[in-house]
């Protein structure tokens, strides 16, 4: 019998690396290939390792701990900062989609209701932010899970994209306490 339930909030930072002078970090730039072919911009495992912080004497200890799997989540929040441009064309259109799936599933679940398209993107980077809550659905409703951002361009070898270090995912799971 379950006597109470606690909320487990897990935050996943999508981009990191060495610190920069201005504090902005970008994922490696990705270029599309064949026209309208989907290209992977970013992939991330949403696993169940969390940091456990404790103090032992005068020493602060931070260690990774595995949590029992799987954990159903009741909502998931996305804050996605991306930028896109064309290599040399003023008329290239770029579209992108975020997707998730439970670990072990083969079908990706679209996070957006439709592909997001920017017409005539131009040759200077255009930054975009998409944020909000996604309601779980079959195939993407528990941790561990996988996440990816894909994009495509209507002109061959023209689309370029990156993901910014301010991008993150927060997952709320219910943890029964027996």
CATH T-level topology, domain 4-177: Jelly Rolls (2.60.120)
The per-residue pLDDT for 58 is 59
Q: Could you tell me where the beta strands, DSSP code E, fall in 57-167?
A: 59-66, 71-86, 94-102, 109-110, 116-118, 126-134, 142-143, 145-153, 159-163
Residues above pLDDT 90, as percent of the chain: 63
Where exactly are the structural domains of the chain?
Answer: 4-177
Question: Quick one: DSSP state of residue 140?
Answer: B
pLDDT digits (tens, 9 = 90+) for 124-159: 999 999 999 999 999 999 888 999 999 999 999 999
pLDDT digits (tens, 9 = 90+) for 82-136: 999 999 999 999 999 999 999 999 999 999 999 999 999 999 999 999 999 999 9
* 123 vs 89: CA distance, rounded Å: 7
């Amino acid at each position: 019998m379950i006597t109470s339930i606690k909320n487990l909030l897990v935050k996943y930072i999508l981009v990191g690396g060495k610190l920069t002078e201005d504090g902005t970090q970008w994922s490696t730039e990705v270029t599309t290939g064949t026209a309208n072919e989907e290209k992977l911009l970013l992939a991330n495992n949403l696993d169940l390792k969390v940091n456990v912080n404790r103090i032992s004497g005068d020493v602060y200890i931070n260690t990774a701990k595995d949590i029992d799997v799987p954990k159903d989540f009741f909502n998931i929040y996305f804050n996605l900062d991306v930028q896109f441009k064309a290599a040399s064309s003023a008329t290239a259109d770029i579209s992108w989609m975020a997707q998730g799936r439970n670990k072990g599933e083969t079908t990706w679940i679209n996070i957006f209701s439709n592909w997001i398209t920017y017409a005539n993107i131009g040759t200077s980077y255009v930054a975009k932010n998409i944020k909000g809550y996604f309601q779980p659905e079959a195939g993407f409703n528990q941790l561990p899970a996988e996440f990816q951002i894909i994009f495509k361009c209507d002109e061959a070898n023209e689309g370029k994209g990156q993901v910014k270090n301010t991008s993150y995912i927060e997952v709320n799971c219910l943890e029964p306490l027996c």
